[in-house]
Amino acid sequence: MHISDSRGVSAQAAGPDALAAHAVDAIEGLSGIHPGYRRAHAKGICCRAVFRPNGLAAAFTTAPHLQLQESEAIVRFSGSSTDPALADVLSPAKGMAVQFSLPDGEVSSLVGVTIPVFFARTPESFVDIVQSVHQARKGKLGPIDLVKEITAHFSESKEAMLAVRRLKPPASYAESHYYCIHAYFFKDHEGNSRPVKFEWKPDAGVRSLSAGDAAAQPDNYLEEELELRLKDEPAVFQLIAVFGEKDDPTDDPTRAWPEDRRRIGIGRLFITGITGEQEGLVMDPSAISEGMALSDDPILHFRHAAYADSHRRRSRER
Ligand code: HEM
């Protein structure tokens, strides 16, 4: 199996933009180019929302949207596949990206998925793993053998692959739990800094479908269910802050923190309706407000260039 790639090394030497273009090329290799669509999480639905913070985060951060004043937000739910035509039931992990509007006209984003860890520790290994998946698929490996092959060569992927195998088809985008994976830092008024991760916990609880029920669903069942649900009531999520302790890794998205870490609910997101997609919407997880800082996670930093590259490609095609 192909496990290393010299083009990746030369792209890395040329800088983050070249490596980002290389990563997006690798993603395109998985299911081809779908003009006008995001290169990952291609199929999605945008919603309007309001975030109401409860004030509990104010002791830890000066972030304006996490004090007491409500802010508007855009939410995009998505399937993880690179193919926008893939049936919902066939893309295992789902995404929930939230972009808060800040009082100064800027935005702050949190991007989550339904697994707690990522499969790659660095941008370079991301490229190698995606290319290896592509090679393994060309060799007609089934899903279980593919997972075995990848985890045999890339031990960092083990936790994420296990998490994907445990996923069941969700009953609803609004009844799924989303993890924002990367560590950030909260900054308080005195300049103190604390490591923190975020999760979106659905008020409606988590519900999945049996294999039989899932097989009977139409291709776009998650979007259809959400549209119907929002006609009756908002979909509500609690934003959970999880605080890291000494020695919890902040630079490694493949490793979860221990389960007993302090968790507090810091506000609720009320999703009230469907909107069309805004031209230019990029859910960049490195776009954050004052009162927050990025951790040293190389994947978190790299996503800015990769998402910008994908946005450039899809805008040109529209
Ligand atoms: C090297 C790491 C990664 C690369 C190269 C990558 C690449 C991409 C690309 C190219 C897009 C489309 C962006 C656009 O056109 O706007 C995307 C979207 C997305 N990615 Fe990643 N990604 C990475 C890591 C992650 C991680 C760790 C997560 C987990 C939270 C994640 C979750 C998502 C979600 C939810 C979307 C859809 C965002 C939206 O709805 O606009 N990605 N990714």
Taking 90 as the threshold, does the pLDDT of residue 5 lie above it?
no
Look at residue 14 and tell me if it is in a domain: no
Taking 50 as the threshold, does the pLDDT of residue 1 lie above it?
no
Look at residue 201 and tell me if it is in a domain: yes
How many domains is the chain partitioned into structurally?
A: 1
Look at residue 303 and tell me if it is in a domain: no
Taking 60 as the threshold, does the pLDDT of residue 85 lie above it?
yes
| Ligand 1 pocket by Cβ (under 6 Å) | 23-24, 27, 38-41, 44, 76, 78, 95, 97, 111-113, 118, 120, 123, 126, 180-181, 253, 282-283, 299, 302-303, 306-307, 310-311, 314
pLDDT at 299: 98
CATH of the domain at 68: 2.40.180.10
pLDDT-based confidence at residue 214 (cuts at 50, 70, 90): very high
Residues 241-269: b if buried by 16+ CB within 10 A, e if exposed:
bbbbeeebbbebbbebbeeeeeebebbbb
- The whole domain housing 254 covers 43-115+168-296
Look at residue 11 and tell me if it is in a domain: no
Residue 277 token pair: 């997609």
Mean of per-residue pLDDT scores for the chain: 94
Look at residue 3 and tell me if it is in a domain: no
Look at residue 126 and tell me if it is in a domain: no
Q: Which of 25, 27, 38, 126 for a ligand 1 pocket mutation test, highest count of atoms within 8 Å of Cβ? A: 38
Instruction: Please name every residue paired with 53 in a beta bridge, in sequence order, or none if there are none.
Output: 267
Look at residue 90 and tell me if it is in a domain: yes
Residue 149 token pair: 């092959």
Look at residue 50 and tell me if it is in a domain: yes
Task: List pLDDT tens digits, range 9-54.
Answer: 455 556 789 999 999 999 999 999 999 999 999 999 999 999 999 9
Ligand 1 atom at minimal distance to the Cα of residue 77? 40
Ligand 1, atom 21, residue with closest C-alpha: 40
Report the separation in Å between the CA atom of 118 and the middle of ligand 1, taken as the mean of its atom positions. Answer: 11
Q: How far apart are CA 256 and CA 249, in angstroms?
A: 8
pLDDT at 142: 81
Task: List pLDDT tens digits, range 259-304.
Answer: 999 999 999 999 999 998 888 999 999 999 999 999 999 999 999 9
Poorest-pLDDT segment among 62-66, 70-74, 141-145, 188-192? 141-145
